[in-house]
Amino acid sequence: MTIGWHFDNSYSKLSKTFKEDIKPTPVHEPELVILNEELAKNLNLNFSGIDKKKLAEIFSGNSLPDGTNSIAQAYAGHQFGHFTMLGDGRAVLLGEHIDNKNQRFDIQFKGSGRTSFSRGGDGRAALGPMLREYIISEAINALNIPTTRSLAVVKTGEKVVRENLLNGAILTRVASSHIRVGTFQYIAATQNLEDLNTLVDYTIDRHYPEIKSSKNKALDLLSLVMEKQCQLVINWMRVGFIHGVMNTDNMTISGETIDYGPCAFMDQYDPKTVFSSIDKFGRYAFSNQPPITKWNLARFAECLIPLIDKDEDAAIKIATNLIDNFQNIYEEKWLNMMRDKLGLFGEDKDDLTLINKLLDWMKNNNADYTNTFCYLMGVDFDDEIYKNEGFKSWINEWQKRVKLNNSSDTYLELMKKNNPFIIPRNQKVEEALADADKGNLETMNKLLKVLSNPYSDQKNIIEFQKPAPIGNEKYQTFCGT
């Protein structure tokens, strides 16, 4: 029985500056927790003839598939604004799997042991954070937002020391690549122009082949990455997702969401919402995600200055003009996204006022972000908040605007494409993780099933749609490192 792995490892062929050759550290007693069969099928992999013990050996790194050439990647990053030389401190890239459509995917272990980049860490991961990444990354994928995905999670049979002793685990992450803004920062910091050119060419070959013959590849790469990242954050804002740790090493050049550490979805609408326990000053709050995206892109631009123009002053001016346009691009995309959420066709001069009135009402009344749009699509939550006179008045304005450029119920079709009926509610995620830690996966599997179809008004899902009650204790998420 062949699984169908087809490895072709181009990144590992780059010079030593880019990586460390290393194998995953074997674990004591691996046990398969979950395998993403749908993703496996998409990757043209077939695990049906492999027993659970063998699967656990494969996804723990105790038994590596043929063709792998495992490495830890080097990268740097601005973490909460402070520059640090980093690298894969607890991750190992097995290689690049080519599927039957000739698409290339990184297969990476997270929690697979120490590397030279571990900086004193144990190189391991705990079960809870790995299952959180599995749940949220699969939910983001179902929401039609570009993301890395999770192929499997195994328990290692070993404990990891955090605040308490926790079950150790390894996640298998799938990405179109793990090239980050931080990868460019690392290479730029070495001041080796040849390596920087190599990285630009490699990235373009892999992700943006349409600009291979460009006269200014670095500038065009910056422009395309800015467009991708702008669209990504628009999608996060659309569904109320808060990444929580938007360091430059967590911004991919491919435009995929990566690193589901202290991430969560917003319940009651508040632009200042922060869940991360380590984000003391709200740097990565919900409303700060667009300006932080721009800030990260500016750091990317700095890396490319030597390649944009031989005259440094000219290069800085060109890059600055490009980055400064981010706000205009974002504002236009955001306005159109909010029009889609409200089923508004065409443009009207009062659209921004109408949208801001709704957001202000939601904030002032602690209204749930997701459920308010569901209510507008006809879902009856029997919630007194939607009988509020201010809300009724706004609905009258909205209904008049809906009729302006729309003669039928197509506005509802537009809304249903852009507003999920279901998101990973924080309390439901915590319930699933708590049960999984005790060996009961039923809660998690039920949650995953509901989350797999977020734009469908499924039957009997009200328990998954309710936000957690507003309490005195603030919900917090943690990095897991």
Q: Which residue has the tokens 């159109």?
A: 336
Please give the structure tokens belonging to residue 177.
Answer: 């690549």
Contact 317/219 with Cβ under 8 angstroms?
Answer: no
**Count of residues in the chain:** 481
Give the Cα separation of 93 and 106 in Å (integer).
7
Could you give the C-alpha distances from 275 to 147, 148, 283, 293, in angstroms and in order? 20, 21, 11, 18
Q: Give the closest residue to 56 by CA, choosing from 166, 167, 152.
A: 152
Phi, psi of 345 (to 5 degrees): -90, 150
Q: Give the closest residue to 404 by CA, choosing from 334, 355, 353, 350.
A: 350
The reply to whether 195 belongs to the active site is: no
Give the Cα separation of 165 and 168 in Å (integer).
9
Give the number of other Cβ atoms within 10 Å of residue 311's Cβ. 10
Contact 263/289 with Cβ under 8 angstroms?
Answer: no
Contact 7/97 with Cβ under 8 angstroms?
Answer: yes
Phi, psi of 473 (to 5 degrees): -90, 120
Residue type, 83: F
Q: Give the closest residue to 247 by CA, choosing from 10, 481, 12, 9.
A: 481
Contact 159/169 with Cβ under 8 angstroms?
Answer: no
Please give the structure tokens belonging to residue 315.
Answer: 């290069």
Please give the structure tokens belonging to residue 414.
Answer: 């537009």
Residues 6+ apart with CB under 8 A from 437: 127, 128, 167
Active-site choice (88, 249, 259, 368): 249
Contact 378/280 with Cβ under 8 angstroms?
Answer: no
Q: Which residues pair with 242 in a beta bridge?
A: 264
The residues annotated as belonging to the active site are 249
